[in-house]
A and B are shown apart, each in its own frame.
Chain A
């Protein structure tokens, strides 16, 4: 319980977001291109963090389905920015798992010139910082 609370605090700290500002309008979920792929929807992310249910978040598919397109961050009228929360939750999981991702220097040779920049950045956000 206290560790879940601790983790929720960590997510707030990493994201710099105050989930209490959310007015539950759902504009994040309305904006999300990966909505249908997600088990926990963007707007639900906020309440999960609010309620300290980090365990479920960490195990959710959504964490890895989020494209980090930041449409929700752009459009959130309350500056809650669910994308940042998802990002932070992902960070938390990545940190707990340890150094399992790619190292930056390994990337150039894997690069496909056709690969959109955005995807690259998005991948970085998701797998390694």
Chain B
């Protein structure tokens, strides 16, 4: 029989205001096994933990139930406290009387009754708990960073600087990401390439960093400390070891009609290409869909002109299998498709563009060589209209429900840059709210208004009409003047919502990392563990976790790196002892459990057993504790009930059911 102590937390008034904690203490004392019960203001505080330790010593407790907040919050705290007092940490159970009780109920009597029942269930479970010992697993001292934008580069640099090997997997032909497409950055207006390129070079030159560009993660198996990842290196058709990056192939390539991804399709590129001049690695790839050699078999110009003999039309995709201890996701974002927003005439006029497209137009290496001009006729614009919140803050299923966070600032930046360079251009911004929380952000926006004379109008645009003369008629409202405004513009720029790079879904599935309804990866805790995924060993860097600007991305990248370093610095990891275990005498050896195990943790052994005097050799399931993650799929598949899950055993769960239904 266990000797159980029950500790009821007030959580200040969070619990005590709705649950009569004294009553709970009184009621649980009647439960079997309970030899001690007390309440306290804050059980998780040092004084509270001391009370638990004292009771363990004084009453010789063998099990503990803490009635408090969610076990997701403080289970670890109380387990550690129990362990310090000499109790096996797995003899602790939590009754969640805050999130699942006091916070959602109003009636004190009802909430108290429920709290008692939840406590009873936990007590019934503890009665059947057994001490568990965590196992150990090794840590592969190498990290994988998925995505080679600024987030991925920064994370990789930080991990590498700490002395660990890092691989970056980037699906496009070059690292650099979205930041490489930007012209200037807010709120300092320094050139994006000037600050990014050195980091790209540093990453490429770092002896601890290996970069796989034009590559994708294909398969992930294993678990924290010991992931095995298949990386598909897509065929570049260029031998990276031979290529000197001279660029002659791109010049001579006769097929130059492919839309340039880097320039957002605003101009074209050759079939053999590097996305931009500062690309790393400076090794082109052949776009086989655009290449004449691949399409018709005739051409081969690049092969002829390449003095290094680097062109290799026979190159095949290659699968590289690597082991990693930690994985950082840094897959970044894209702008949403505007197909659902007919009213802004984006698909009708070349002069309605997204902000990211404007970045390319403003950039000296962009499609217009940095000259602000209409893409329809190349004319210099005189009236420009910016529309904010296109697809952001929408709850109508056309766009995204969240605020994309960066648009207010980059629009102020664009407006300012245009007014600075072309004082003859009038700039009007239609906004709903201007959101500028950030260091020097509001000052920046005010400068746009006060010093650069940008015309900010509070009100959304309802429609953009393409007039026969090629001009754009913008119909918006001015809510402060209570007027409807019709404005003729030469160019309209849409502050298009950003969304997580769509391929993140498959990556999340491979990593079994959870993802929210907007495809942003979920944090382990929204406030306290914002750079960790709930899946152990997987960390989050940059916009894949939520909208953020460059400084925030870099900060988070560093934080993710630190978390990864913390993991890689360990030689061994304690494994979760709540693993499956087969009862040798009951096991049929039928393989049903192995069929459902997602980790391949179950194997079979021919083993001699002594079944109540019958000695025979039987085929018996054996669980590898390092591989087993404790999901319990096998326990239900097992026909004989031989397979059970430690810490969540059949009898424990049934005891909880019984206690609740009593």
Contacts and interface: CB of A to CB of B under 8 A. Distances in A.
Interface of A: 21, 23-32, 35-36, 41, 43-44, 71-72, 75-79
| Most chain A beta carbons < 10 A, residue from B399, B458, B460, B476 | B460
Given A24-B432, A24-B479, A36-B484, A30 B461 contact: yes
Contacts of B484: 29-30, 32, 35-36
Interface in B365-411: 389, 393-396, 398-399
Interface residues on B, range: 20 to 34
Contact of B395 (A21, A28, A30, A44): A21
The A contact surface, by secondary structure, is helix
Nearest to B399: A77
Given A41-B482, A43-B477, A43-B479, A27 B395 contact: no
Contacts of B482: 41, 44
Contacts of B398: 77
B662 to A, nearest CB: 42
Interface string B475-506: 11111001011000000000000000000000
A25 to B, nearest CB: 4
14 contacts: A24-B432, A27-B477, A29-B484, A30-B460, A30-B463, A30-B475, A30-B476, A30-B485, A41-B477, A76-B396, A77-B389, A77-B396, A77-B399, A78-B394
Contacts of B432: 23-26
Contact of B459 (A26, A36, A75, A77): A26
Contacts of A78: 393-396
Given A77-B394, A77-B398, A78-B396, A26 B477 contact: yes
Complex A-B, nearest 5 residue pairs according to Cβ-Cβ distance, in ascending order: A31-B462, A30-B462, A27-B460, A26-B459, A30-B477
Given A75-B343, A77-B389, A78-B394, A28 B462 contact: yes
Interface string B446-464: 0000000000001111110
B460 A25 contact: yes
A112 B463 CA distance: 31
B479 A27 contact: no
B435 to A, nearest CB: 12
A66 to B, nearest CB: 14
A27 B459 CA distance: 7
A35 B463 CA distance: 14
Contacts of A28: 462, 477
Given A24-B432, A35-B484, A77-B389, A29 B479 contact: yes
